Structure 1
Amino acid sequence: MNKKTYSMRYTAGQPAERIAPPAALLHVGQALSPGEPLPVQQRLRVLVWNIFKQQRADWQSVLRIFGRDAHLVLLQEAQATPELVQFATANYMAADQVPAFMLPLHPSGVMTLAAAHPTYCCPLLEREPLLRLAKSALITAYPLPDNQMLMVVNVHAVNFSFGIDVYSKQLGPIGDQVMHHKGPVILAGDFNAWSRQRINALYRFAREMGLREVHFTDDYRRKAFGRPLDFVFYRGMNVAEAAVLVTRASDHNPLLVEFSAD
């Protein structure tokens, strides 16, 4: 793994911590710290949102209202501004971000906010072949009260590329870990699946991993060329409720999904 790939962890009352990639993948890791489980009772609540670098007003209100009871918040294009970091550390046990590229003051990339500390944290980067900007993904794992380990994959897929070679290349390292994981899995984010080739590659990947897609009755997801960009896939759980929340606080609408035990 590229030594320049790392994640940043934000925790209340602690300085920001730079987290190196894991020495071993989750399924072969030794003596992982068990940590406290996610405080899940009957349902696991997950919010997924490309937050558009917090460039629009009311982003914090949307997070506060719709993410207040979430156990996990998966953000894409999250800029590590003092406002977002303060919100994350005040409302969640840990926030882990993969800096994909540096804006004038703060890095931007995927960020996963969680109601428990992850026992595993694996950052991934893939560079856009045309613009040479990086897109990030983050694989984290959390204990559940039933002693299973939940794998969570937060993805912002490459956007500008010819064909699907780089697109599929970005999914490859994710698949290596999802395939071997024995517990439940959530794979979600902005997959930029705006072409038939891309969405076919994404669905093929999901099938190979044994993942199911979350479907939305009132589907107000952001679309490009008639195809949705944001997805939630899962394994080892059931979908209890799923909704798309309409807002002007970003150029993407948040996805809110509640899972129940399989």
Structure 2
Amino acid sequence: MFKQRDYTLRYKANCDVEVILPNHHVMVNQPLIDHTSFAVLVWNIFKQKRADCIHILEEYAPLTKLILLQEAQTSVQLLNFINLNNKIADHVPAYAFKDIYAGVMTMSDTLPTALLSFKEKEPLIRVPKSALITVYPIKNSTQQLLIANIHAINFSIGVKIYRQQMYMLLNRIKEHNGPVILAGDFNAWSRQRLNLLYHLIRSIELKPVNFSIDIRKTFMGRPLDFVFYRGLQLDEAKIISTTSSDHNPLLVNFRLD
């Protein structure tokens, strides 16, 4: 259906799907956030394979400004959720099967002013992983909020391709003058990957969100899901325990500095 390599699919309530090509910029008058606290939900939704995952989204949609999903599939149920909750969903399809697209998806209540999508093929299984940067206006500010949503390379020998994927994303973040949230499934399951990840996020002055009760999905004893930030104050962070995916959602509240 869609042949361009670097494109994003946009879903909006009561609208046909829109193909967003690189260097797409729009004039947006409606800010996403102001100086009050706002919440972000981050979740690898496991391709919506398990019951009740949409119920989790419905429960937290009214409480969040942003929903960052990994392994989001464009199922009828998810598209209905977007429509019924009047969300704007930008989706980077890593792959497609029978017109069902899967990849990272960022949902918000307002249009981003800019976006940039990334894909990187798994070196062993050759199935791509995707990432997405979206930028949103802030009320009464010349700065904008950058959101980076990533599903990192999983199956590789060494960290060469993992580092390459991170560099592509972090180089864009480094250039941004304003608050940043970087979140998703980083697949940092080895000591080498975890050390590299922390080295890279420190190099662009991001801080990790820590959880007092840490029930994140782990592999080989290490957590896979992270939230990093800068230019914001952390108000609260918790993890939602659920069997609706093989990952637990992360719910984080921020406010502007």
| 8 Å contact from structure 1 (residues 92, 114) kept in 2 | no
* 1:122 lines up with 2:116 in the alignment: yes
- Aligned equivalents of 1:60, 1:3: Cα separation in 2: 30
**Which of 71, 87, 108 is matched with 1:77 structurally?**
71
Cα distance change of structure 1 residues 59 and 182 upon mapping to structure 2, 3 Å threshold = same
Aligned residues: 254
Letter in 1 for 2:178: G
Determine the structure 2 residue equivalent to 1:236.
231
Secondary structure at the counterpart of residue 68 of structure 1: helix
Deviations 1:71-91 (A, max 9, x none): 000000000112101212322
Q: Distance in 1 between matches of 2:177 and 2:86?
A: 26
- Pick the aligned partner of 1:146 from 140, 153, 163: 140
C-alpha RMSD over aligned residues: 1.5
Q: Which residue of 2 aligns with 1:225?
A: 220
Pick one of 143, 155, 160 that aligns with 2:155: 160
Moved more, 42-51 or 144-153: 144-153
Cα separation, 2, equivalents of 1:41 and 1:209 = 24
Deviates more, 1:53-62 or 1:92-101: 92-101
Residue 93 of structure 2: SS of its match in structure 1? coil
Q: Give the alignment partner of residue 251 of structure 1, picking from 217, 234, 246.
A: 246
Residues 5-45 of structure 1: CA deviation (Å, up to 9, x unaligned)? 2110001121100011116xxxxxxx852431015451121
Q: Secondary structure at the match of 1:206?
A: helix
Check if 1:20 corresponds to 2:21.
Answer: yes
Taking the aligned partners of 1:179 and 1:216, their CA distance within structure 2 comes to 25
Can you give the 5+ residue segments of structure 1 that lack an aligned partner in the other structure? 24-30
TM-score (norm 2): 0.95
Paired-residue identity, %: 46
1:51 pairs with one of 35, 45, 68: 45
What secondary structure does 1:99 align onto? strand
Mapping 1:160-179, distance limit 5 Å: 160-179=155-174
Matched, 1:187 2:188: no
2:35–2:255 CA contact under 8 A, matched in 1: no
- Deviations along 1:174-206, whole A, 9 cap, x unmatched? 112111100000000000000001011110110
1:7 corresponds to which residue? 8
Give the direction of change, closer, same or farther, for the CA distance of 1:216–1:92 in structure 2 (3 Å limit).
farther
Q: Which runs of 4+ in 1 moved over 2 A?
A: none
Q: Give, as a single letter, the amino acid of the residue that structure 1 aligns with 2:70.
A: Q
